[in-house]
Amino acid sequence: MEDRHRAGTALVRRPGPRLADGIVTHIDRRPVDAALAARQHAAYVGSLRAAGWRIREVAPADAHPDAVFVEDAVVVCGDLAVLGRSGEARRRGEVPGAERAVRDLGLRVERIKEPGTLDGGDVLRVGDTVYVGRGARTNEEGICQLAHLLGGRRVVPVDTSGCLHLKSALSALPDGSLIGLPDLVDTSVLPCLSVVPEPAGAHVVVIGPEHVLMSASAPRTAARLAADGLRVTSVDISEFEALEGCVSCLSVLVP
């Protein structure tokens, strides 16, 4: 059943023909079923649409296997879109399509410039605070540039270890509370972090008032959140998880 709530626009990019060649850093590589990935992506997009989000497809970047993880290319905050500059040089060609999409939405566009690096998966906004993961994909210069572009918002660097991005390790619930995996982040700079019972439980996307989207591979976390009164939509993204992806990686939500 479709939500009455009209949320905004969700930017997505379909998986390309080279998906199985995506970069794997912290996990062992396994085969990826491209046909299954396409079906899973369609179901993911369908869940966003059912929650009231208008879907806008970002132009393909088929030369780039990881382009489906569109979140890394751009950070949207209010009417500002900040184009990323990944610490993984092989991913920088994913940005032009995302730039066209946010310009078409009428957003102001800025960009992270050399020597700064920043992936959108390292950026977690919670109210007026922006937590930014500092690691292999995002460096101190990139964080400083982002802080300057975001003006008065409080930007908090968070060191990460053993994970691809900050949002590989934690995410925020609708009330702003944080959940995740404390062993992968510097918890000393976080107000509080509720530990999840399984790794995939660290990843949720707020898609409506008291409504979250999460991976089907985190059933215990889903049950806990549902018991706390949240509406939980679970989607199977196993083929993207094989490439270190999570639910937030596959879209950019523009309220």
Per-residue pLDDT of the chain (255 residues; tens, 9 = 90+): 344 455 799 999 999 999 999 999 999 999 999 999 999 999 999 999 999 999 999 999 999 999 999 999 999 999 999 999 999 999 999 999 999 999 999 999 999 999 999 999 999 999 999 999 999 999 999 999 999 999 989 999 999 999 999 999 999 999 999 999 999 999 999 999 999 999 999 999 999 999 999 999 999 999 999 999 999 999 999 999 999 999 999 999 999
Q: Is the peptide bond before 96 cis (omega within 30 degrees of 0)?
A: no
Strands (E) located in the chain: 8-12, 53-57, 74-77, 80-83, 108-111, 123-126, 129-134, 154-159, 170-172, 178-180, 194-195, 204-208, 211-215, 231-235, 252-254
Torsional sign, CA 109, 112, 114, 118: negative
Q: Is 249 one of the annotated active-site residues of the chain?
A: yes
DSSP letter assigned to residue 232: E
Residue among 64, 163, 246, 249 flagged as catalytic: 249
Residue among 64, 165, 203, 211 flagged as catalytic: 165
Q: 111 - beta bridge partners?
A: 83
Least Cα distance to 189 among 124, 117, 115 occurs for 124
Least Cα distance to 246 among 235, 232, 233, 230 occurs for 235
pTM summary value? 0.96
- The pLDDT value recorded for residue 152 is 84
Q: What is the largest CA-CA distance in the chain?
A: 47
Q: Is 144 one of the annotated active-site residues of the chain?
A: no
Give the gyration radius of the chain's Cα atoms.
Answer: 17
Residue 93 has phi, psi (to 5 degrees) of -75, -5
- The domains of the chain, with CATH numbers, are 8-16+37-254 (3.75.10.10)
- The pLDDT value recorded for residue 141 is 98
DSSP letter assigned to residue 2: -
